[in-house]
Amino acid sequence: MRVTRRRFLGLVGATGAAGLWWAPGCGDDDSTTQVAHFFTSDERLVVEDMAAALVPEDDLSAGALATDAVELIDRFLAAFDSDPPAIFGGGPYSGRSPFPDPRTGMPTNDYPDNDFTEMLPLTRMQELAFRILLDGDAAVTNGTINTGIVPPNPGLRAIYRDGIAALEQAAQDAGAASFGELDAEARIAAFATTTPDFRGALLQNLAEGMFAAPEYGGNRDRRGWLDYDYDGDSQPLGYTLFDADSEPFDRPDKPNQTADPNRPARPFSPEVERFLTAITAAQGGKRFF
Amino acid sequence: MSSSVDNVLGNTSLDRFDVVIVGSGAGGGAAARVLATNGLKVCILEAGNNYFRGLDDPDTDMPRPLFSNDELKLSSRGLIEQQAIVEPRTFRALGAQVDRQLVGEVNNLPKTVGGGWVHADMQCPRFNDFDFHLHSELGDIAGASFADWPLDYDELEPFYAACERLQGVQGLAGADPFASRRSGPYPLPPGPPMYVDSLLRGGAERIGLHPFAFPGARNSRPYRGRPACNDCGLCSMYGCPINAKGSVAMLRDALLTGNVQLRYNAAATRLLVDSSRRRVTAVAYLDADGNPAEVSGDRFLLAASAIESARLCLLSGLGNGGLGNSSGLVGRNLMFHHQTISVGIYREDFHGERGRSVTGGFSDFRGVPNDAQRPLGGIVEFGTNSEKIQEAATYMVELGFRGAALKQFLRDRPLGAHLAALIMQGEDAPQLDNRIDLDPAVRDINGLPVPRITYGTHPFELAAREYYGPRLIDLHGAAGAQFAFVAPINEGGATPSSRHIMGTLRMGSDPRTSVTDAFCKFHDLDNLYSADGAPMPTSSGYNPTLTLQALAMRTAGAIVDPARPESVIEGDA
């Protein structure tokens, strides 16, 4: 990038205008949208208690609860209670990022509408796929066509119901009045007694709930992105800016071509470093320093 | 010409077609453009949905894609992917004495208007001169079926240049010292290099390699009605929210001629033939509601991907010694790229959600044939991780971290922001028994047999892996990595990870040893052609899409003017 005097002043001007550069748009609030849920209030509590043990809160970053990760799961399992089903958000923009000025390349105060909240209609094949995924292979015509070759698929809703029941049973077996009475260690021990399908689903869905776009119900206040060094969606501004009369250039607040001063190089924590040392050795790799 | 009919784009009033194309992806779009701009009436069948609003609307603001920087939608839930839960494939390792070892997702490509070229990060290197006569260079190799192509690089060069020009490929001519000759510069200059690219480029130079800006069909400047790429990060495996990728550039040109009707959510199920059994008369398909339908035409192009095109032949009785298959080779010589991926972990934060997945690489490791010092490998891409959910799921699901330990990994991001990948697209030796056929028992939800992939590696690509893997690790060291290793391959238990799919309808001049001829027409049928990665006799060590597009364009050109196919590339567009 060639920084001209005009360009330099332009950058200073933009970054100096408080709130202009990265003012989030109106994309996070979906309170006017009717959303359907799946869990009973008791079930929801069990899932949240489990999630809190798997991804706990601490002083440095939000966990599953503060990001409201379970809300995404609760909505996904009830996806077909909405029309169109709440599976694929619309596009292209969330409204969190502004349009660039075509003359200067700089962000404007013009934010697009939030398209993410407008769910896309499903094709016939997509609907069949997600019906099976959520309700099981017996829920659709031909869903069990490969019975005898692949194991029966009970569907995620049943997997969750059974998994929650197993967690409650484990609590009872431990003499607790409810699952929430177990401490984190005991909850994780109970989790290990549930089926692989449930464990895999809950962990994958919690990752989604913490880090997916907020329109799906989780990642509350973008804590999943803000607390874990991730920008989230950036269109229509993006990271390479174009003005009317020069080469493309980086945003000063979030550079693409160079290191980001807000995300500097840093050593890994000792336990991460131990893990990296171990997998590098196991794969016959090299540790350079 | 904008269509308001459900599941149809383009000219809805057309009802007689000179050419029917199965598949609207990279190859189908390239072929359709040549045919339609030369006045032929074309019907395209696309099994997937359309997410390019206004693709057939001449308004300069169009198309307006429905894609977004939404990992859940595009990656986790697979908006444009073939959903394996209703359309599984099966896999078995070469030599395994079982019907199958896996039922589910096997090298799926997107099923959507624009095909695999929608989720691609649009890498566009050309193949090399020697790729077209590799059997002559190498001689016979035991267990492999290398073959020369029935054309050479110079014959394809005008079509390469046209594909670059029409889609807006960015690159710097001469930057790759190993690239074959070009008739002109790239139409667009390279866009900005990502931070990870800058570091790896430095490492590559320090160990004597020749890195360059990777050529790609993403606008680096506004071009042909599309905006410049603004490096939004979520590129590979995502549709472009602003249409800066050239994914549907040629398809849109074709639609705007008024000579094309694109029926989407229309999944081809069978080719119908006449009593001579030398002519295809129609394609049977399932429409958006799952009802059977047909479209007839004079000629037919298969552009559904090397796996699905071969499957359609087999579903139509064109295989196992049957119709159109006197060579017995339909579905055989299936190739992927043997990707050798070296992972480097750095203290630097690469912020991979900024950029366009891959902006640099080098082709020193492609090598040259018969080099006593080193084997043939492939071009190497500089990559990093741009996804967040997937990174977290790696720690949570695959590595099993819980509680405070998990939090530490989520904050440190060793396999996310701090990961750099060197991805070598190693040549995959063709083998007769690496193939697709129809699974004897597994059906898709429409009741049709699914493709079964039988695949095993050959010592040819393993030698490249063994030779270049340690050198990729050393490159990481020279670039400043703290740790580096080569990611394991899942031999036997799973499939190659590459989405570069080639072979299955091999081209050649001898009908006894090839399925299609030098212009990708089936030897045994008068009006059936292949227009995707299926005709490729060898896989090369470069990303294959530009080459398959150039081939498809040449096939279409030969339909228009058999004597001078290169003279009709532009048509009346």
Rg of chain A, C-alpha, whole Å: 23
Residues 335-354 of B with CB under 8 A from A: 345-349, 351, 353-354
pLDDT of A29: 46
Domains annotated for chain B, with CATH where assigned, are 8-81+108-303+335-432+453-500+521-568 (3.50.50.60)
> Which chain A positions have a beta carbon within 8 Å of B348's beta carbon?
259, 265
Q: Is the peptide bond before A270 cis (omega within 30 degrees of 0)?
A: no
> Which chain B positions have a beta carbon within 8 Å of A232's beta carbon?
69, 353
> Which chain A positions have a beta carbon within 8 Å of B288's beta carbon?
123-124
Distance CA(B115)–CA(A70), nearest Å, equals: 34
pLDDT of A14: 32
Tell me which of A156-160, B132-136, B370-374, B527-531 is least confident. Answer: B370-374
Amino acid found at B393 = A
In the block, which residue shows the tokens 């017995």? Answer: B328
Distance CA(B285)–CA(B47), nearest Å, equals: 9
Among all residues of chain A, which has the CA nearest to that of B407?
A: A55
Residues 253-272 of B with CB under 8 A from A: 265
**A207 with B393: Cβ contact below 8 A:** yes
pLDDT tens profile A24-81: 343 444 444 579 999 999 999 999 999 999 999 999 999 999 999 999 999 999 999 9
Residue A12: which pLDDT band, with cuts at 50, 70 and 90?
A: very low
How does strand B42-45 pair with strand B260-263?
A: parallel
Distance CA(B144)–CA(B429), nearest Å, equals: 6
pLDDT tens profile B134-174: 999 999 999 999 999 999 999 999 999 999 999 999 999 99
pLDDT at B58 over 80: yes
- What residue spans of chain A are helical by DSSP H? 5-16, 41-54, 69-77, 124-135, 156-173, 184-191, 196-211, 223-226, 270-282
> Which chain B positions have a beta carbon within 8 Å of A55's beta carbon?
396, 403, 406-407, 410
In the block, which residue shows the tokens 């705007």? Answer: B256
Neighbour count for residue B564 (Cβ, 10 Å): 10
Chain B nearest C-alpha distance from A130 (Å): 9
In the block, which residue shows the tokens 């044939």? Answer: B369
pLDDT tens profile B20-52: 999 999 999 999 999 999 999 999 999 999 999
Helix, strand, coil abundance in chain A, percent, nearest 5: 40, 5, 55
Interface test with A, best of B73, B197, B245, B349 (most A CBs within 10 A): B73
> Which chain B positions have a beta carbon within 8 Å of A258's beta carbon?
195, 198
Residue B322: which pLDDT band, with cuts at 50, 70 and 90?
A: low
Distance CA(A14)–CA(A7), nearest Å, equals: 11
The yes/no answer to whether this complex scores an ipTM above 0.90 is: yes
pLDDT of A16: 31
Chain B nearest C-alpha distance from A286 (Å): 5
Distance CA(A177)–CA(B565), nearest Å, equals: 79
pLDDT at A147 over 50: yes
Phi, psi of A73, deg, nearest 5:
-65, -45
- Check if B464 contacts A (Cβ < 8 Å): no
Phi, psi of A25, deg, nearest 5:
-80, -155
Nearest by Cα to B33 from B243, B232, B239, B251: B251
On the 0-12 / 13-18 / 19+ scale of CB atoms within 10 A, A5 is exposed
> Which chain B positions have a beta carbon within 8 Å of A238's beta carbon?
229-232, 242
Neighbour count for residue A248 (Cβ, 10 Å): 22
pLDDT tens profile B210-265: 999 999 999 999 999 999 999 999 999 999 999 999 999 999 999 999 999 999 99
**B83 with A248: Cβ contact below 8 A:** no
Give the DSSP H or E segment for B93: strand B89-93
- Check if B66 contacts A (Cβ < 8 Å): yes
Amino acid found at A108 = T
Interface test with A, best of B60, B61, B72 (most A CBs within 10 A): B72
User: Across the interface, which of A91, A265, A275 has its CB nearest the CB of B70?
Assistant: A91
Chain B nearest C-alpha distance from A209 (Å): 9
CB B276 within 8 A of CB B260: no
pLDDT tens profile B436-492: 999 999 999 999 999 999 999 999 999 999 999 999 999 999 999 999 999 988 655
pLDDT of B124: 97
> Which chain A positions have a beta carbon within 8 Å of B355's beta carbon?
239, 256
Distance CA(B252)–CA(B245), nearest Å, equals: 13
